[in-house]
Each structure stands twice: as C-alpha cells, then as structure tokens.
Chains A and B, each alone.
Chain A
Amino acid sequence: MNLVVRAVCVYMALLVIFRIAGKRALVTVTTFDFLLLLIISECTQQALLGQDSSITGAIILVGTLVSLELGLSWLKCRSTRFERWLDGTPLVIIEDGRILRERLAWLSVDEEDILEAAHVQHGLLRLAQIRYALVERNGEIAIIPWKEGR
C-alpha cells in the first residue's frame, strides 16, 4: 500500500482510538504506561513502513504525518466545532469548593487524583482548600485554591 495512505490510515486510527480513550488516558505516564507507549509505537511502525526501510520512505512518512498535523491545526483554527471534537473543552470538577461528582464520573477522575494535583501544584493539604479544579483539554487537573486567610 502507498506510504501516504498508510500514514493517513494509522494517524486517523490513532486519533480516534485515543479520543475514545479519553483526555486522561495517558496524561500521567507511569512506568507501565511508558512501556505501553513503546509497544504502541512499535506496532504502528510496522504498519507504517511495511517492508520499506528506505530513507525516501521515512521522509515521505514524516512529511505526511507533519502535514496531517498542520492540516488539522489549520482546521481547528477555522472551526470551533472541529476543535472541540478533536481537543475537547476544559471541564470544571470543583466549583466554589463543591465537588461535581457526576463530572468526575464522566472523566473517570476521583478525589485522589484531585488531591494529588493539589499536593503537587500548590502544596495543599486538604480538598477543602481547593476553590476550583478543572480538567484541562490536555487532560491535566488544574487547581485553583481559595485565597489566603480562608
């Protein structure tokens, strides 16, 4: 199969699979996640290259993948709808100190994940010290604590 077609198919398949997996799927890379990423890259490498190990083939593939990325970025700039479907939107999970449990379930996030982000980002000790928490588009949890004195 043509290398460009291979690259487009693999790129699209990965895009759909990782979008289905959710924005938090690989946001915290544990040792096992790292191994999983290596295995995934090894699997896709075979599908991309087939029997072709030429320099020209590699340049065609890299060129196609970068072009796809640029093309999607261009489309995202022109269509909010497209951008949302590709990247999602941030989602507030703690609002004014109130945990929005339904939304935690949507994203498979639990209080422990929020507390961990609070420890790392602000050195907070308790959930009660958090005013807002959001799951950003890249899947990371952003913590906004109450102002000092509360």
Chain B
Amino acid sequence: MVEIKRTDDLETSEDLAFERTSMRVRRVGRALLFLFVLLAALGLFGDGPLSHARAGDASGLFVRYERFTRVDGTTRFEIHPRVQSSAAPRRLFLSASLFEHGHIEHFVPEPSSLEMTADRSVITLPRVEAGGLIVLVLRPVRPGRLRFSLGEEGSPALDLSLFVYP
C-alpha cells in the first residue's frame, strides 16, 4: 500500500525522491528510444544502409541482399549471374538451410524446373542475358541467424548470412 503524506491540508502519496529517479530513468529511456529509432532508420533492423550487403564480385556471380530482415516480412535477393556464352538455361543451387528458415515467395524469371535433394535444391531458369537480373523474394519464418549458400553451375558457391529478427 502506498504511503499517504500530509502537507498542510493536502494529503498525497507523492514521493519526491522516487519521482526524481523516475525522471532520470525516463530521460535515459527516451535517449535509448531515439537511438533505437535512429538505428532502425539506418537499417539495423531491416532495409537501410547498414543492412545492404553484397556477396561475390562483378566478374562472376554476385548477389545484393539485406543482411537484416524480420520474420514474416519479405526480403529480396538480386542475383546477377555471370556472363555466359551459350544460350543454355541457368542452373542455380540453393542450400537446404534456406528452406528450413523461410519460404520462397517468388522467383523472377519463373523457374522452368525445381529439383530437391537432401542438402540443396537446383533451380533451372530460362535463358538470362548477360547483365540480366534474377530476383528471389524470401519470407523468413524463423528468427535467428540464417546462413545458406547460393551458386551457379560453373561458379563457386557464395555464402550468404542474414539475421532474422522476431
């Protein structure tokens, strides 16, 4: 039960020492809240400059993606395939860990076939011209670190790492 104090005729449960402490805690809390919002705007919890990541180099296969994302949100991977001389369809490899942590919402262009093995899946895409772009949109379903590899037939696989916030 809160203690009631009397000042002249006025009875209150005022506690000046507590209110002084509370005000200091509130100030720290507000500073932390502003910092949180600033970091969110910069991309610590999703899309933003701190989140932009890239794997691979322009001479071969490279991927642009967001390293921070959130459960049930969507995140986009821009896959730039290596220059290919033949007109053969592209074959991309994705490690199985990706499917444990998320659902693929869509692939652009639409894959012509999908083969699943125990540790990876192979996606066959129609011909993508040099400089063309393959887009993979993923919806993460589990929080935590998501590591997976992505490769193209004839190129070394790239290791991608994301952090999925709850």
The residues of A with any CB-CB pair to B shorter than 8 Å are: 1, 9, 16-17, 19-22, 50-51, 80, 83-85, 88-92, 95-96, 103, 106, 132, 134, 144
By the criterion CB–CB under 8 Å, are A50 and B14 in contact?
no
By the criterion CB–CB under 8 Å, are A84 and B2 in contact?
yes
Of B8, B29, B166, which is within 8 A of A19 by CB?
B29
Q: Kindly list chain A residues whose C-beta atoms are within 8 Å of the C-beta of B166.
A: 1, 9
B72 interface contact, C-beta 8 A: yes
B106 interface contact, C-beta 8 A: no
The residues of B with any CB-CB pair to A shorter than 8 Å are: 1-3, 7-8, 10, 12-16, 18-20, 22-23, 26, 29-30, 32-33, 71-72, 143, 166
- Nearest A-chain residue to B16, judged by Cβ: A91
Given contacts A22-B26, A92-B14, A106-B19, contact A1 B71 (CB under 8 A): yes
By the criterion CB–CB under 8 Å, are B14 and A89 in contact?
yes
Minimum-distance CB pairs A-B, first 4 = A20-B29, A106-B23, A89-B15, A90-B12
By the criterion CB–CB under 8 Å, are A90 and B29 in contact?
no
User: Bound state CA distance, A20 and B25, in angstroms?
Assistant: 8
By the criterion CB–CB under 8 Å, are B13 and A20 in contact?
no
Given contacts A51-B72, A95-B7, A106-B19, contact A20 B26 (CB under 8 A): yes
Given contacts A19-B29, A96-B8, A132-B10, contact A89 B23 (CB under 8 A): no
Of A22, A51, A80, A90, which is within 8 A of B1 by CB?
A80
